Amino acid sequence: MIKPVGSDTLQPLFVYDPDEHHELLKESEGLPSVTISSQAAGNAVMMGGGYFTPLKGFMNVADAMGCAESMKMTDGTFFPVPILCLLENVDAIGDAKRIALRDPNMEGNPVLAVMDVEGVEEVTDEQMQTMTEKVYRTTDPEHPGVAAFNSQGRFAVSGPIRVLHFSYFIDDFPDTFRTAVEIRNEIQERGWNKVVSFQTRNPMHRAHEELCKMAMAAVDADGLVIHMLLGKLKPGDIPAPVRDAAIRKMAELYFPPNSVMVTGYGFDMLYAGPREAVLHAYFRQNMGSTHFIIGRDHAGVGDYYGAFDAQTIFDEEVPEGALEIEIFKADHTAYSKKLNKVVMMRDAPDHSKEDFVLLSGTKVREMLGQGIAPPPEFSRPEVAEILMDYYRSLNK
């Protein structure tokens, strides 16, 4: 099985031992505590589940700057984005050596993790700007990732953490949320060796389904892990429970038995395009995938990134040998009226735009909202039905 990044074994930061968990939880109630940002909470959940192996906790400013500028921490450890715990106010911490990190996304702000404080630093405007530019390739405050990153505060609290809870993800998505530990174990139980993973924050249309099948056939994969984002998205994106239902229906009806795992992870979308694509590949290797699909505009938003920037970054910027996972580089896929099947557009040079069934996201949302199913070449009817029910509920 493929090794985790930079380690022989997965290193989840969740406290699995029940006695130790109970003791830490008891101790945490008496510790100075801070309610962290949603982004930091998502990072804690990812570290808890082993996705960010071999990170031990939140970075200090020097390590975060190193990751932003060269994808390397000061000791040379590869990591593609800064993982910071940024706060607006650190008065509650004082000179405490151990603190409780509280969850901003759950009622009552329960303790999410305990941190051994190694540093409290003020991040300069210049440092914030450098990190923003390097990770997001823009400082435009209209960019949702830039806005979220820069709204967290300017005090970076760093140190190793022990995770005590998986936030709302385990409660709200019990059938879908999985840690990297659980996915690795299931891949092993299924006897899969070559595993393709597919990232999604949207329901999967016919083109996505066929793209997954193309990738599986191309690398002779044993199985596919559809791995959906369960954290915060931008306004207008379809909620996770609806996506989950639509994807499960598609997998059940249109893939062979024992060939697909439908899972999800708890993390707030960065919309950082190329850099986020590298992070996505990083934690897919940690969960046991050998191949990862990256298509056009992966993890992007608006017009901030070129169509294939998320593919070329692996050739141009990722340090040699940093990742073992292989990238399956995909073009836009669509149904060809000429060939009566879904193809990658680059594989059909004799086609014009009119030869494909192409619908914009806006057009599809309009159709679904009016109770009109998109053509079956675009969306499976059973999937469209689930989405139409959702849009109809909005109009009630």
> 253 by DSSP, 3-state: which?
helix
- What is 18-170's CATH topology? Sulfate adenylyltransferase (3.10.400)
- Note the pLDDT of residue 179: 98
Contact 25, 164 (CB under 8 A): yes
Specify which residues 122 forms β-bridges with.
155
Task: Give CA separation, 18 vs 22, 28, 174, in Å.
Answer: 6, 15, 20
- Residue 237 pLDDT exceeds 80: no
Considering 154, 193, 202, 248, which one is annotated as catalytic? Answer: 202
In angstroms, the CA 133 to CA 158 distance is: 22
Instruction: Please check whether the domain covering 190-394 is classified as CATH 3.40.190.10.
Output: no
- Residue 12 pLDDT exceeds 80: yes
- Note the pLDDT of residue 358: 87
Residue 354's pLDDT band, with cuts at 50, 70 and 90, is very high
Q: Which residue has the higher pLDDT, 203 or 68?
A: 68
- Residue 215 pLDDT exceeds 80: yes
Q: In what order do the strands lie in the sheet with 223-229?
A: 260-265, 223-229, 195-200, 291-294, 326-329
Cβ neighbors of 324 (< 8 A, separation 6 or more) are 2, 3, 5, 285
- Residue 199 pLDDT exceeds 90: yes
In angstroms, the CA 50 to CA 379 distance is: 35
The verdict on whether 202 is a catalytic residue reads yes
- Residue 28 pLDDT exceeds 90: yes
Residue 221's pLDDT band, with cuts at 50, 70 and 90, is very high
- Residue 82 pLDDT exceeds 90: yes
> 87 by DSSP, 3-state: which?
strand
Residue 342 DSSP label: E
In angstroms, the CA 15 to CA 181 distance is: 13
The verdict on whether 258 is a catalytic residue reads no
- Note the pLDDT of residue 335: 92
Residue 106's pLDDT band, with cuts at 50, 70 and 90, is very high
- Note the pLDDT of residue 363: 87
- Cα angle for residues 335, 338, 339 (degrees, 5° grid): 70
In this prediction, residues 217-243 reach a mean pLDDT of 88
- Note the pLDDT of residue 216: 98
Report how far apart the first and last C-alpha atoms of the chain are (Å, whole number). 50
- Residue 395 pLDDT exceeds 90: no
Q: What is the pTM of this model?
A: 0.94
In angstroms, the CA 3 to CA 12 distance is: 14
Average pLDDT of every residue of the chain: 95
- Note the pLDDT of residue 92: 96
Domain locations in the chain as residue ranges: 18-170, 190-394
Considering 98, 154, 201, 365, which one is annotated as catalytic? Answer: 201
